[in-house]
Structure 1
């Protein structure tokens, strides 16, 4: 797999491509395409300045399967790295099947007309990829991605079983904006405003969005309010760990973010239902996303740290009874910007996208079919996290954390 085609030109893609170029022995040939070629050209120019590596760029509408097929064939790509919007997952997977190339992404498919994050659409591709002798790797970002690998590393090295799991995502950075999102605004707001769901005793428990919160003291950040949300790795982790009694996902938000989001919801700006304006149909959320600051523009002004990790309680591997472990990564916004020109939220997703791709390119991870990242051996991925900018730490806690 010597030729890699990356789709998308946002902050995550920028980080991923920079990190690929920094590892040219694994990625000797990188191609970058998106709907707006000028964005690809800007990333390629930055990569050239920072690493000396050259990247070929292209314009593509990833939802147009024939165009994707033609581009993949033109390049002779071996693997497609999908860092575009989740709506485009299935068309890109279709193009990979038609051209006989492998596939990797960071976020599961989501239909445009419904804020519903589920793996069922992509899992349905398993037999087709298997029969074609191809591998599709799902969810190689941070969450999903690193948090999934963290969980399985604990299960491999510390815990025989996992009884309860809490994933904690804290962005302690300050970008100086009244209201902005640190990744694609449309996807971010759809996630946040969707009903919260968590896994408990073999079923999904649903609660209103942003209604359940707790306070947690995050290292290198401080005490923050964390809100219960649904996140797609809960679906796959509960599937591959059937013994799990409860799995929850928490994300921190500041009071200003909550205040602005509440107002935007109340006036209908977060709606994904079409409305007519001056004779045209528009989606309010898409219009809002267009006027908000672009996530990739926040790198220079964002200061502080992210702290993302998992707290798992279960039966210890050594037979010493029930134990609780906390495994996490702390990432500096300033350090991420200095290295790649992007803030830490993009960095913490873009680096794992590069690492997951490296696992496939080097053959450390292989298979035929569609796989979630937690089905793979966590150890080589964890080693690369330490070596490529996302060092992790694990410690035993006195007991389960009460949220």
Structure 2
């Protein structure tokens, strides 16, 4: 029996629950838990309707270690799939240690009071998980997650040594709103407005947010996009685990409309993360803004178009310099038809399910705290093709971002 507890009932939690529910032989029992049990119940009802499968639901405060530990000891799962907020990673890891349960998340821990995306807090758990004989898998979403595995797959099969890495995340979808975020608004806006850092010549170089842009043409007639360089957490682990890298960058597409709204909101202070006084109460502007914006989980039926996310890697093979592009294209409407979520949630939720499958089946089960690229990429990549995120590798003769 392989019972899992999924924590989080937003857009990604919905996808993870659906995809796990599809694989009865791997995920024999599923418990979906969130602070708001009604959200879990709605997802469970949808799964019952579409898959004729029952999953259990529970209310839990993921910030409360004792409460979460009690739930885990009661349910005794093999694994916790954490798709709650990054601020809650450490409390959930603590509960897993207390209850003796393996752990998986999709995004690294971030302190509530500062926009700082680093792995140091979770890497510090290495000895605790190792001594407990438990596995913690970090960042099993798409980016981070699949992009780490893409890099590992290319490094293993196409290169003797890799030298540069460009992770390119393009969302060609349109939801029709003047301004909305495709995942948690608070995390999304903090990510985009933080200082950019990229890895070059052995160190991270800091530049102003969104100050470097380039033109990029996606394959398979997805189209031409303007992409902007920003910091993303997988750069930290990939630079650490591939010392041959001379440069590593992360790029994401944004429309002019999105950037104009973001600029205005920033100018009036609505993207701030420091509490302000309002009529005797402390409120955090970005958290208030998140309440005003459309719920990302509601974008599914409105969103049309495709995503194109992948890695361009250059390096040496048999003495020659080579460049390969490994990518996935995902259709928003096809995702909604399958699991009632748009492609941003889908591309995060499917790798979370696959990472969990890797752990439960023993492919990636080893005590300690691990990033995706440290583990064998081959079975994960095979499952990407099987469970909704097919990928391709093409060789590029001329590649430049300018």
TM-score, normalized by length of structure 2? 0.99
Contact 1:323 1:399 in 2 (8 A): no
Q: What's 1:295 paired with? A: 296
Give the deviation of 1:74 after TM superposition: 1.1
Q: What's 2:265 paired with? A: 264
CA-atom RMSD in angstroms: 0.8
Q: What's 2:92 paired with? A: 92
Q: What's 1:111 paired with? A: 111
Contact 1:313 1:400 in 2 (8 A): no
Q: Residue deviations 1:232-282, cap 9 Å, x none?
A: 000000000011000000000000000000000000000001001111000
Q: What's 2:374 paired with? A: 375
Q: Residue deviations 1:97-154, cap 9 Å, x none?
A: 0011100000000000000000000000000000000000001000000000000000
Give the deviation of 1:328 after TM superposition: 0.1
Give the deviation of 1:320 after TM superposition: 4.8
Cα distance in 1 for partners of 2:392, 2:213 equals 25
For structure 1, list consecutive stretches of 5 or more residues without a partner in the other structure. none
Give the deviation of 1:77 after TM superposition: 1.4
Q: What's 1:325 paired with? A: 324
Contact 2:107 2:144 in 1 (8 A): yes
Q: What's 1:170 paired with? A: 170
Cα distance in 1 for partners of 2:67, 2:342 equals 32
Q: What's 2:396 paired with? A: 397
Give the deviation of 1:400 after TM superposition: 3.9
Q: Residue deviations 1:331-363, cap 9 Å, x none?
A: 000000000000000000000000000000111
Give the deviation of 1:221 after TM superposition: 2.4
Q: What's 1:9 paired with? A: 9
Q: Residue deviations 1:341-386, cap 9 Å, x none?
A: 0000000000000000000011111111100011110000000000
SS in 1 for 2:162: coil
Residues 3-402 of structure 1: pairs in structure 2 closer than 5 A: 3-219=3-219, 220-316=221-317, 319-402=318-401
Cα distance in 1 for partners of 2:249, 2:84 equals 26
Q: Residue deviations 1:82-104, cap 9 Å, x none?
A: 00000000000000000111000
Cα distance in 1 for partners of 2:393, 2:158 equals 10
SS in 1 for 2:400: coil
Where in structure 1 do 4 or more consecutive aligned residues deviate above 6 Å? none
For structure 2, list consecutive stretches of 5 or more residues without a partner in the other structure. none
Say how many residue pairs are matched.
401
Contact 2:5 2:30 in 1 (8 A): yes
Contact 2:216 2:401 in 1 (8 A): no
Cα distance in 2 for partners of 1:359, 1:52 equals 25
Cα distance in 1 for partners of 2:136, 2:387 equals 23
SS in 2 for 1:127: helix
Cα distance in 2 for partners of 1:142, 1:98 equals 29
Give the deviation of 1:399 after TM superposition: 3.8
SS in 1 for 2:161: coil
Cα distance in 2 for partners of 1:131, 1:152 equals 27
